[in-house]
Structure 1
Amino acid sequence: MPVRFDISHGLVRIGAHIVAMADMSAVDLEKHGVTFIRDFDMQNGWLLKQASPLFLDGKRITLLFKFNDQSLKVVSFSISHELEQNLEVVRKSHDKFLSNELGPPNEVKSHCTIYRYPWGEISSEVDVRNESCSIVVRWS
């Protein structure tokens, strides 16, 4: 699989080289091979950095990293074979991926499936306003 979770330590492994964990800086991620292509400064301490898409195991992975005061707090990504337009198809694919990786979720809502851990949470979410579906890792 192109993305693996170390739920004991709150790590996300993307491909062979990228490791994301709480409070990393953008420079740390760049050292692990992330190439950022776009920044969104929210003017409130939050900075969103979009990474260039990765292609691993025949799947496209689109990554967005969210920093608060230069510390990584959230990473979200989407895994797909192609650019799927149907959000429910993408959500079901993400839910299946998470179920295979993590087992049964703690909670299922109409717009998200949530796995909770002492260090934070992993979820599969649909954002109908932005017409997107992502897997989101949030560190507390």
Structure 2
Amino acid sequence: MLTTVVFRQDTKSGCVYLDDHIEIGKDLTFTALVEQGVKFDGEIDMGNGWMLFSSWNHCILGRQVNVSFGFFKGCLKKFGFALISGDGRDLEGLKIKHDALLNELFGIPQKKNEILIAYDFVWGTVSSQLDPRGGSCSVEFYWK
């Protein structure tokens, strides 16, 4: 049995719970995250209204993760995480772990190819993605 809830029970809200107490959801502001105790380790201003922030060493579903936040014009639109693994260079192995986690939570994905699986909800999309060119692999939440 999982001890941390990723979504509200009915999956209608699209909220993610970080470290068992930080509620991440659509249109959350940077200030609201800081007030909940999130500390940021890096930021990138894309110069087009998007700001990306990273924060390390968190917990989701009892697993250690590093997270990223994507704000558009000050409102959270994207949240991502990657499981922390011993071998950060094994992107394919990490993708398998991310896929297994999402399969455990949501079952068979609506979309699937060699680099992505995705689940569509009323509020947005959850996906596991491999970016071999960029050298990354993550689970991403996109709110409409």
Same fold (TM over 0.5): yes
Aligned: 1:129 with 2:133: yes
Against the structure 1 CA distance between its residues 31 and 83, is the aligned structure 2 distance closer, same or farther, given a 3 Å change threshold? Answer: farther
More deviation, 34-43/52-61: 52-61
Residue 53 of structure 1: how far off its partner (Å): 2.3
Q: 2:97 aligns to what? A: 93
RMSD, aligned α-carbons: 1.8
Percent identity over the alignment?
29
Uncovered stretches (5+) of structure 1, i.e. residues with no partner = none
Partners of 2:7 and 2:85 in 1: CA distance: 20
Instruction: Give the counterpart letter for 1:124 in structure 2.
Output: S
Against the structure 1 CA distance between its residues 123 and 49, is the aligned structure 2 distance closer, same or farther, given a 3 Å change threshold? Answer: same
Residue 56 of structure 1: how far off its partner (Å): 6.5
Partners of 1:107 and 1:68 in 2: CA distance: 25
Instruction: Give the counterpart letter for 1:19 in structure 2.
Output: E
- Alpha-carbon displacement from aligned partner over 1:23-75 (angstroms, at most 9, x marks no partner): 00011111222111211001110000111322568743111100000000000
- Between the two proteins, the alignment pairs up a number of residues equal to 140
Uncovered stretches (5+) of structure 2, i.e. residues with no partner = none
Partners of 1:3 and 1:79 in 2: CA distance: 16
Instruction: Give the counterpart letter for 2:105 in structure 1.
Output: E
- Name the SS of the counterpart of 2:7 in structure 1: strand
Q: 1:4 aligns to what? A: 6
Structure 1 or 2: larger strand share? 1
Residue 3 of structure 1: how far off its partner (Å): 6.4
Against the structure 1 CA distance between its residues 120 and 55, is the aligned structure 2 distance closer, same or farther, given a 3 Å change threshold? Answer: closer
